């Protein structure tokens, strides 16, 4: 965690950056904390492979593929693409190169199929097909976002608390800001802050879907953890998807470019870039009651 000197912050406001892009797995991010628990569960259950699903350039799918290979497991990916490209070889661009280097089995589905059937049904269909072939696969949901994966960020917030207590960050935190794409990371952060001595307000900037969707999804995760807390009391979800998932406005791209030029931190345009744009557009001071100091804010990035 280090201080992040973003220009033009309100007087009295400090922004700190929790570098979960440096968690140790190749091209890593927040997915690694979840996968630590999910891959361990797959190994404990004697599985020989994992299945997961995402977009054609999904960071989660790439991280899953690498983590599974580290653990000696094969990976089957269901990747969502356009109707025009679904019958073509997906190539070796971006995350696909990493996935193919570690030996992934890749199946493509159209966006229309994904919407019609849903990620759970697509994953379950492949699971059953592989079992009929004699394999023992483990199904990981989109983004690794389930109750077990959420433990990654319960542990992550314990780590933040330890850093604060060891004077490895600011003296205290007033707010925590995070990008929200599937809800699992946000649920873990929100519950982790609530259970720790951090006691900060949590703000999640959604890059897809609606705040109401995320509140309901996170409530499901909380029930799976045995908690009857309402996510609305733990986190404030804000809309930051702009034009849509993985689509950027010129203003968002400008914020990312200026941030890279002025601070050396390169943000992801799908998640953390949109979240920072949303934070700066609203102004950190707007997160506080009238007359209150803007305070100290950690930004958890990138997914």
Helix (H, G, I), strand (E, B) or coil at 144: helix
Q: At 21, is the pLDDT very low, low, confident or very high (cuts 50, 70, 90)?
A: confident
Question: Which H/E stretch holds residue 224?
Answer: helix 211-224
Helix (H, G, I), strand (E, B) or coil at 84: coil
Predicted confidence at residue 193, as pLDDT, reads 96
Give the integer Cα–Cα distance in Å for 164 and 174: 12
Does residue 201 register a pLDDT over 50?
A: yes
Predicted confidence at residue 94, as pLDDT, reads 85
For residue 58, indicate whether it is catalytic.
yes
pTM of the model: 0.89
Per-residue pLDDT tens for 104-142?
Answer: 999 999 999 999 999 999 999 999 999 999 999 999 999
Q: Of 67-71, 98-102, 128-132, 279-283, where does mean pLDDT reach its minimum?
A: 279-283
Q: At 166, is the pLDDT very low, low, confident or very high (cuts 50, 70, 90)?
A: very high
Does residue 303 register a pLDDT over 50?
A: no
Q: Active-site residue among 28, 58, 119, 182?
A: 58
Predicted confidence at residue 61, as pLDDT, reads 94
Tell which residue, 151, 190, 146, has the closest CA to residue 37.
151
The mean pLDDT value of the chain amounts to: 90
Per-residue pLDDT tens for 213-222?
Answer: 999 999 999 9
Q: At 231, is the pLDDT very low, low, confident or very high (cuts 50, 70, 90)?
A: very high
β-sheet bridge partners, residue 42: none
């Amino acid at each position: 965690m280090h201080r992040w000197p973003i220009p033009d912050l309100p007087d009295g406001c400090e922004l700190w950056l929790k570098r979960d892009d440096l968690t140790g797995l190749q091209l890593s991010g927040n997915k690694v904390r979840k996968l630590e628990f999910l891959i361990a569960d797959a190994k404990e259950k004697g599985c020989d492979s994992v299945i997961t699903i995402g977009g054609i350039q999904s960071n989660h799918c790439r991280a899953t593929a690498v983590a599974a290979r580290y653990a000696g497991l094969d990976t089957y990916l269901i990747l969502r693409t356009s109707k025009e490209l679904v019958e073509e070889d997906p190539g070796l661009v971006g995350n696909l190169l990493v996935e193919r280097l570690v030996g992934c089995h890749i199946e493509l589905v159209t966006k229309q199929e994904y919407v019609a059937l849903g990620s759970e049904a697509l994953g379950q269909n492949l699971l059953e097909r592989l079992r009929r072939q004699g394999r023992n696969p483990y199904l990981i949901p989109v983004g690794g976002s389930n109750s077990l994966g959420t433990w990654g960020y319960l542990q992550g917030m314990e780590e933040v608390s330890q850093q604060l207590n060891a004077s490895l960050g600011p003296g205290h935190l007033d707010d925590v800001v995070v990008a929200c794409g599937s809800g699992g990371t946000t649920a873990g952060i929100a519950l982790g802050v609530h259970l720790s001595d951090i006691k900060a307000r949590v703000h999640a900037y959604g890059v897809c879907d609606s705040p109401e969707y995320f509140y309901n999804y996170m409530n499901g995760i909380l029930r799976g953890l045995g908690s009857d807390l309402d996510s609305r009391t733990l986190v404030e979800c804000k809309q930051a998807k702009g034009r849509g998932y993985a689509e950027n406005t010129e203003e968002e791209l400008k914020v990312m470019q200026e941030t890279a030029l002025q601070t050396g931190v390169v943000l992801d345009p799908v998640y953390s870039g949109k979240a920072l744009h949303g934070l700066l557009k609203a102004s950190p001071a707007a997160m506080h009651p009238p007359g209150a100091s803007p305070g100290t804010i950690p930004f958890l990035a990138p997914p």
